[in-house]
């Protein structure tokens, strides 16, 4: 399994749907200038599973690496359909792992952010005293 593909996919999803929209107004202004159909697509792809499928295809195309090598060599009876089917199945599993990765990062992040906020609050109260 090419775990680096999954890590890259989670990073891409976090960047485009969790971070860039909050780093000033430039990103959302750019999205707002896209054609309506692409704006709708961006909004619908907030789901890490949905976006993960397409991210998986893009990562596969960009790196040439299969998430699971078994999908590279499907049985002969698939004939010419074997390669596209392999890409589809690889991206489908990628989507599942992408969703799991995004949920895992969010689950770890919430307690960490809460702890940081409480620590800052505690330090501020020490300064005031």
Per-residue pLDDT of the chain (129 residues; tens, 9 = 90+): 899 999 999 999 999 998 999 888 999 999 999 999 999 999 988 889 999 999 999 999 999 999 999 999 888 899 999 999 999 999 999 999 999 999 999 888 887 778 888 888 888 888 876
Determine contact, residues 6/100, Cβ cutoff 8 Å.
Answer: no
pLDDT of residue 45: 85
pLDDT of residue 55: 96
The total number of residues written for the chain in this structure:
129
pLDDT of residue 129: 67
CA distances, 106 to each of 18, 48, 100 (Å): 10, 12, 10
Give CA torsion, residues 117, 101, 53, 11, to 10 deg.
60
């Amino acid at each position: 399994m090419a775990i680096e593909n999954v890590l890259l996919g989670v990073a891409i999803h976090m960047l485009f749907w969790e971070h860039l929209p909050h780093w000033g107004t430039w990103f959302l202004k750019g999205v707002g200038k896209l054609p309506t159909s692409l704006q709708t697509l961006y909004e619908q792809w907030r789901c890490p599973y949905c976006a993960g499928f397409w991210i998986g295809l893009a990562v596969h195309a960009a790196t040439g690496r299969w998430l699971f090598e078994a999908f590279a060599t499907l049985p002969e009876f698939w004939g010419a359909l074997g390669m596209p089917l392999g890409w589809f199945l690889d991206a489908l599993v990628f989507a599942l792992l992408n969703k799991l990765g995004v949920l895992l990062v969010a689950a770890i992040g919430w307690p960490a952010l809460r702890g940081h906020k409480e620590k800052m609050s505690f330090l501020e109260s020490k300064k005031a005293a």
